[in-house]
Amino acid sequence: MSTAILVAFTVALVMSLYALDSAGTDSWARFGASAVVPFVFLLITAAWARSGLRLALVLPVGLLLLALERVAILPFYLDSSVIADWNARVLEAAAMANIALFDSGVVIVWSIARRRSAATWLGVIPAAGVLSLGTWAIYFHQPDFGADLTSGGTLPLGYHVGVVTFEIAFVLAAILILWACDGIGLATRKPRAAGAPAAAASVEDHRATQLYRTQAHQIDQRETERYPVSPPPLAQPPRRPDDPSFRTTQIRRPGDEQR
């Protein structure tokens, strides 16, 4: 299921970028439409959260990151006359912030919704390093994938496939790092939750056994009244020891010696 969601998200990104590039819509329509796929991804991931608390946390965090990503990319949808006097460093920082917020937003939303142990957060630093490397590589060294970026026309589908795949590769690497840390946390976790139901079941079985034994040894008073229980036989006197000398030994009384 996780793989299916990520694959569907990647395909939807490719198709949405290609459709917006081919339609030739105005800048504001592109600005709004380009946020549809990330928003749907947020809703699907939140719906697949492991608990209600995760759901309540994923939605506001995801919406905040999506809003910041929209703010970062906003200058590139403004009229060229508005940003003509802007410093190139500002536009560069805005572009890199857009990449970092988009990629980290996917990883953060996914991790909050799907993590299973606290050990996941041990991978935050290496995952952040991968995302930082990806931001730098995407902005400065992204290949053109055989497309002529100076023509001004509609870019081919292969270009959008390459761009999205190149970016998602860093996102997937960060998710796998967190997933590996999550797996380590699960492997080292003590099975306390699994032992509690078994102990409770054994206690219930013991109680049922004791109740059965108690009921089995109880005497039904109705049966006792109908069929009176005969008293036990009288105790027999102990038998004399089987010693021949006992039978042949004479019992002497006082005065027998005088006779």
Number of structural domains the chain divides into: 1
Is 73 within the bounds of a domain?
A: yes
Is 244 within the bounds of a domain?
A: no
Q: Which two tokens stand for residue 118?
A: 């606290």
pLDDT in tens, 123-133: 999 999 999 99
* 220 pLDDT more than 80: no
Is 27 within the bounds of a domain?
A: yes
Q: pTM for the complete prediction?
A: 0.70
d(CA 254, CA 236): 32
Inter-residue contact 120 to 184 (CB < 8 Å): no
Is 193 within the bounds of a domain?
A: no
24: left (phi over 0), alpha (psi -120 to 50) or beta: left
Is 181 within the bounds of a domain?
A: yes
What is the domain range of residue 51? Answer: 2-146+154-187
In one-letter notation, the amino acid at residue 200 is: A
Is 254 within the bounds of a domain?
A: no
- The pLDDT assigned to 2 comes to 76
249-252's contacts with Cβ under 8 Å and 24+ in sequence apart are none
- DSSP summary character for residue 50: S
Lowest mean pLDDT among 56-70, 188-202, 245-259: 245-259
